[in-house]
Amino acid sequence: MVVDQKWTQVSAEDSKSVDWALEYVNAIKNKRPDSLQLKRKGKFVTQVIGSKPSSANNICGSSCELLEDETPREEYGTFSDFKPTMYPLDPRKKIVGINVDKTYLFKSAMMPALIFFKLEGGGEVGVILKVGDDLRQDQLILQMITLMNRLLLEEKLDLKLTPYCTLATSIDAGLMEFVPDSKGIGDILRKEGSIGKYLQECRGPRSVVMDNYVRSCAGYCVVTYILGIGDRHNDNLLITRDGKLFHVDFGFILGRDPKPMQPPLKLSREMVEAMGEEGWKNFRNFSYEAYINLRRHSQFILSLFELMLDAGIPDIAIEPDKTLQKLRERMRLDLNDMDAIKHFQLVTDQAISSVTARISENMHAIKIWTTS
């Protein structure tokens, strides 16, 4: 077998990542203080999760007490102040403690915890600890979004995507990168009344904010359509303070959706109205260009999904023999570029005018209102 030389070359950055991984494994094998620290952290997480409190406030208070009352130990310190440890989502960074005062629990079924780690040399980084969900699927989709973003950047098309990091630590737990200064569209509409009003209050020049918003809307419409992301509603679409829209929560992919008769992508009237007439024209152009470019890399995308057919990813495991066909249907490889553009135009128009999507959104808003 002939191996292409370019695949055998390892960059200096990749080499460092391998060194960090080896150091991490050796620490555990040799039972150095690093591994003792990991075991202690696991015990703490188990203790917090296993407490089964009656409310979010109770668990938040109990976890903070555990953090604050922990007895310092010479070999590794405490949770709020410990020896430098590799940050799980980016081994180039080292964390030295937890900011107890910022510990927070989101009001949702799984009650994920927001934890802010203190970085060595100053600064903080936020992560969301989620228990009860299989984050392997989220991790796969975010890796695919990262890949698609790189493919588009190679074509000189920057759609301002925000592929945050996710690390599945087991089949029902994991860590997700917290994107600071971001707010859900549902929350924006409830408090501001419109997306346009929120964008006016974003930092930076108005033209830059609007460009970020239009480009990111176009980018996520295309990638979520190709990957068949389901269960889209205003509370899993977020916008940063500089106008970049991004999606979270990828529990349904490849066309699966818990709600009946939903459009194949999420694009509401409120999202379009915030763009304005000029922004809408740019959205059309960006989305068409992105769709055509990603179709040209279809074999690469299909090959990567083929490697995951036996990986136990929930929505792939349901119908592994139909996974690749679903992706082919989304990319419409049977059409030429002009017909593919007409197809995607029809899909976006259907999403905007979808009555079932609006009904589902209203029902979701009522559910949020009754449980808040």
Inform me whether the pLDDT recorded for 78 exceeds 80. Answer: no
- Pairwise pLDDT comparison (174 vs 83), residue with the higher score: 174
Alpha carbon distance 162, 181 (integer Å): 13
Query: Which of 42-51, 66-75, 267-276, 279-288 has the weakest average pLDDT?
Result: 42-51
The count of other CB atoms within 10 Å of the CB of residue 100 is: 17
Give the residue-averaged pLDDT of 300-305.
96
pLDDT score recorded for residue 28: 45
Q: The domain spanning residue 76 has which CATH number?
A: 3.30.1010.10
Alpha carbon distance 305, 323 (integer Å): 8
Inform me whether the pLDDT recorded for 3 exceeds 90. Answer: no
Kindly indicate the confidence band of residue 125, based on its pLDDT and cuts at 50, 70 and 90.
very high
Q: Which residues form the domain of 244?
A: 136-167+180-371
Which of 5-23 are b and which e, b meaning 16 or more Cβ less than 10 Å from the residue's Cβ?
eeeeeeeeeeeeeeeeeee
Residues 78 and 158 in one domain: no
Residues 236 and 249 in one domain: yes
pLDDT score recorded for residue 232: 93
- Name residues whose C-beta falls within 8 Å of residue 118's C-beta, 6 or more positions apart in sequence: 95, 96, 97, 98, 99, 124
Residues 162 and 288 in one domain: yes
Is the pTM higher than 0.85? The answer reads: no
Residues 220 and 342 in one domain: yes
Q: Which of 245, 251, 239 is nearest to 110 (CA)?
A: 251
Inform me whether the pLDDT recorded for 263 exceeds 90. Answer: yes
pLDDT score recorded for residue 112: 87
